[in-house]
Chain A
Amino acid sequence: MEVELDGGIEPLVGNYMTNRRKDIAALQEALDGADFGRIAALGHRMKGNGASFGFHRISELGVELEDAAMGEDASAVATALAALSDYVDNVKVVYR
């Protein structure tokens, strides 16, 4: 999977991905504790920051996490979390 980003934000992208990895750990912890409020908040935050950086897939997964958490659907949260983890581990960034 590949995403094309504005070269102007290259200095920020490393830190951005590090923060998503921290989010993944926080989401797993929240899922283990059935803390759906925390999951919804993290999902919502990703919805906003993903697209603003150009990571539209992260925004989509943020929406899925937020929706799943609002419905207290642990299975759907787990699915979205796995997809997020896969994306963060494998996305290739190219700059235009």
Chain B
Amino acid sequence: MSRDINVLLVDDCPDFRALVRHYLRQNAPDVTLTDYDPEVQGLPADSFRWSRYDLLLLDYQLGDGGDGLSWLAELRDKDGFPPTVLVTAQGNEYVAVRALKLGAEDYIRKQDLTATRLVEVVREASRGRSPAAAAVPSVNKTTLQPGPEETVVRGINGYRMMRKIGAGTQSRIYLAERLSDDLQVALKIVAISAMDDEDVLRRFEREVNALERIASPHVVRLFDQAFADDCGYIAMEHLPGGDLRERMDGQFDEDVAVDWMRQLLQGLAVIHSAGVIHRDLKPTNVLFRGADTLVIADFGISRPIDTDTEHTTEGMLLGTPAYMSPEQCLGDSVDARSDLYSAGVMFVEMLTGLRPFRGRSVAAILHQHVHEPIPRLDATLAHQQPFVDALLSKQRADRPATAGEALELMQASVH
């Protein structure tokens, strides 16, 4: 039986404390939050029972109460002191580095805070301290033992680690600075122990190979890749503009949807010309450079076209159900037209705010991709229906053969 995760929030702003409480109450009922107003309560006394908390969310500037980093330096050696996440409005990487050097687990900018991000940070940072957090199956511990964190503590030669910005089952992604020129990069790290699993190693190599072959403003740039003592790493372009999912709260203006779909197809045209199929196109794998340049990322399960005539890994569906083509759902071979199907699903979501196929279970969604008719768009978007129908055709032979053909077809649909 797991117990609640106990979180202590130290912040001088009542509105921010109310927001955090609201987000956790709505989205993580197993988290118990305790407020602490540093302006009123001051620095906790020596008798403060830190062991009651699984996580400390600590504001950087505590109003008249002082400075969160000074608090961390003074308190971190206390008995039972919990993992700490620094919360700040500063948005300053220098502050982030100082916090991590003082032992903070992570760093969140207040302007980046969403309910999803907050819950993710709370669960991740309190992992290992709280049985409840440890029970959350978001990370496959067997494939992460020992995890890449051990390597990160020592650092990767040539890079200065700043903060964790993402995680997968076999990898961690850090914001890092290249020492030679201070370039900020997204450093994806996979532990060598995880690569004992041949499939993990193959995916790492595929991602590197795919990125090395592709040069497009609409594809994430690769700067460097290598194997260090106990990990493999890929230094990629850092894209802080967020992903398409974050911008998909509701439907867009049609012009915006069309513009972003055009950029997506332009990126796919280059990827496919380089002989690579992405195979996992979805909004979280589509990032932004600046405000409006769309960039395709995460080639972790991509494959060269000429080796993809066989079925996917035995018994495994690779991809994300909501965006998978019928042939992927059936475990058949995939080709460039499978990526076009996924792009079509995203286009419908951009136009309408809803994915074309939704269900209560993975099986239900897969069934719909394979068997259900393509949903009809509203009358105001009817001119886009032929383009959507082409991309979402159940039979790949009925889809455009290339991203270039899809672009031409889209152009014909613009009214």
Contact = CB atoms under 8 A, between A and B. Distances in A.
B111 interface: yes
A52 B26 contact: no
Nearest to B108: A52
Given A11-B22, A49-B16, A49-B19, 8 more contacts: A6-B115, A12-B19, A16-B15, A19-B14, A51-B89, A52-B113, A56-B111, A96-B249
Q: Size range of the interface on B?
A: 20 to 34
Interface of A: 6, 8-9, 11-12, 15-16, 19, 41, 44-45, 47-49, 51-53, 56, 59, 96
Residue with the greatest number of chain B CB neighbours at <10 A, chosen from A16, A41, A44, A52: A52
Nearest to A53: B19
Contacts of A6: 114-115, 249
A49 B110 contact: yes
Contact of A45 (B13, B23, B114): B13
A41 B89 contact: no
14 contacts: A6-B114, A8-B23, A8-B115, A12-B18, A41-B64, A48-B16, A48-B59, A48-B110, A49-B16, A52-B19, A52-B110, A52-B113, A53-B15, A96-B249
Contact of B13 (A12, A48, A51, A59): A48
Contacts of B61: 44
B63 interface: yes
Interface of B: 12-16, 18-19, 22-23, 26, 59, 61, 63-64, 88-89, 110-111, 113-115, 249-250
A54 to B, nearest CB: 10
Contacts of A9: 19, 22
A51 B111 contact: yes
Contacts of A19: 14-15
A59 B12 CA distance: 16
Given A49-B110, A52-B110, A44 B89 contact: yes
A23 to B, nearest CB: 10
A41 B110 contact: no
Nearest to B61: A44
Contacts of B88: 48
Contacts of B15: 12, 15-16, 19, 49, 53
A55 B262 CA distance: 31
A96 B250 contact: yes
A59 B110 CA distance: 10
B180 to A, nearest CB: 32
A19 to B, nearest CB: 6
B110 to A, nearest CB: 4
Contacts of B113: 52
A52 B16 contact: yes
B23 to A, nearest CB: 8
Nearest to B88: A48
Residue with the greatest number of chain B CB neighbours at <10 A, chosen from A6, A15, A41, A49: A49
A66 B116 CA distance: 30
Nearest to B27: A8
A15 B13 contact: no
Contacts of A12: 15, 18-19, 22
A15 B249 contact: no
Nearest to B15: A49
The 3 closest A-B pairs by CB, nearest first: A48-B89, A51-B111, A48-B110
